[in-house]
Amino acid sequence: MMWRSLAARGRHTVWGRGGGRGKASVTTSPAPHRGARAVGLGGVFPPMPTPFLPDQTIAWDHLATNVRAWSDVPFRAPYRRGHGYGASHSDPYKLISGTRDSNLGSAHQGIPWVVEGSNGEYVYLSPEERVELVQRVRDFLPSDSDKLVLAGSGCESTRDTIVMSQRMAEAGADAVMVVTPSYYKAAMKDKALHAHFTAVADNCPVPVILYSVPAFTVIDLSLDVIIDLAHHPNIIGLKESGGDITKIGSVVHQTQHLDFQVLAGSASFLLATLQIGGVGGVCAVANVLGEAVCELQRLCKEGRMEEAVTLQRKLIAPNTAVTKTFGIPGLKQVMDWKGLYGGPCRLPLQPLSTQETDNLRQVFLDAGYL
């Protein structure tokens, strides 16, 4: 595997802050080892929107209120694949022995959260805001909380992504989710992306999750790169938002002997992902319909497929409304209707028009969710 040229050295370069504010230093330390801090990704992850006040500052009090409300939703993973839990072809939720990691007792399997996914408007946040957001979410949780915090640490440069990942780990992230860099799209070939993710994983003190979201980046992380990176000891999974079930199935099949976990990036194909061996999903609509999305996963786990298919069909229209059709402004509007704080988006994102708001409301009314 290509990553072995770096990992085999036994030591890796660490990019961190040093010598003064805004500067980076280079040190060396032992390369991370997956078994040292196993993180199970099974379950439904709500990608938390970042709340803003009308003056465009982050609404920290409202964030705390939202976190408390989401804490009542049963996002806990009923199963886990990876780190000793694997998917068989006959039963993707069955405990399987003999996988690479035998350190089951140390695996973190808490209630999942995603901070600064695409729905968190992270591209509009300053580096300082991004780190503080992770710290605040962790601080809002009880000290003995079993919440599992995943933080989106992706930046355009490898250097900045490494530094951001390290800072988020210090702030309380249990793992980081790294999106593909995309500004120089034509140059983001397999070699560049492989080198980027390898360097980040080599230098990150917590596990790394690959994040492919071509709808935003126009970069579709290739199957070959994913499979090779899955062998890296500090890369534990993939959030796949492209919706290509053939690709998702191929990843699951070709990594079934590894501690590698696959998450659906949308509720619209959550059931298909679970059926083919995925472990869960990071679903925008779970912010407002968390119980329903968790119920879909439970029905699948229990083999009640007719009910699961019915519920999956019911969720498609609301999910599409708060993603492709009306985006983050639509999601925040439904949050307001549901008693959470949605509030405004950070400019240049615009609020919904009156007609768009009416159309959004009708979608949720027709589905029986308002």
Q: What is the pLDDT of residue 111?
A: 66
User: Which domain CATH number covers 118?
Assistant: 3.20.20.70
What the block records as the tokens of 296 is 């879909």
Higher pLDDT, 196 or 37: 196
Overall average pLDDT of the 342-349 stretch? 98
> Does the pLDDT value for residue 31 go beyond 50?
no
Q: Which amino acid is at 298?
A: R
The answer to whether residue 67 is domain-embedded is yes
How confident is the model over 292-312, as a mean pLDDT? Answer: 97
Of 290, 284, 361, 358, residue with least CA distance to 324:
284
Within a 10 A sphere around the Cβ of 357, how many other Cβ atoms?
16
Residue 284: pLDDT band with limits 50, 70, 90: very high
| pTM (predicted TM-score) | 0.86
Identify whether 147 is a catalytic site residue.
no
Q: Is residue 137 part of a domain?
A: yes
Count of structural domains within the chain: 1
Identify whether 359 is part of a domain: no
Token pair belonging to 105: 């007792």
Residues 293 and 311: their CA atoms lie apart, in Å, by 9
State pLDDT tens for residues 128-154: 999 999 999 999 987 767 788 999 999
Q: What is the CA radius of gyration of the chain?
A: 20
CA distance 320 to 327: 9
Whether residue 354 lies inside any domain: the answer is: no
Length of the chain counted residue by residue: 370
Is 66 domain-assigned? yes
Cα(123)–Cα(119) distance, rounded to whole angstroms?
Answer: 10
* CA 361 – CA 318 distance, rounded (Å): 10
How far is 215 from 201, CA to CA, in rounded Å? Answer: 24
pLDDT per position as a tens digit, 115-125:
999 999 999 99
38 contacts 107 by C-beta, under 8 angstroms: yes
Assigned token pair, 271: 């059931």
Per-residue pLDDT of 49-108, as tens digits, reads: 999 999 999 999 999 999 999 988 988 654 333 332 233 333 433 332 223 333 323 444
Query: Is 320 a domain residue?
Result: no
Residue 19 lies in a domain: no
Question: What is the DSSP secondary structure assignment for residue 322, as one 8-state letter?
Answer: I
pLDDT of residue 198 exceeding 90, the answer is yes
Q: Which of 185, 191, 239, 247 is catalytic?
A: 239
For residues 245 and 343, give the distance between their C-alpha atoms in angstroms, rounded to a whole number. 34
> Is 251 a member of any domain?
yes
- Are the C-beta atoms of residues 41 and 279 closer than 8 Å to each other? yes
Q: Which domain holds residue 244?
A: 33-305
d(CA 27, CA 206): 17
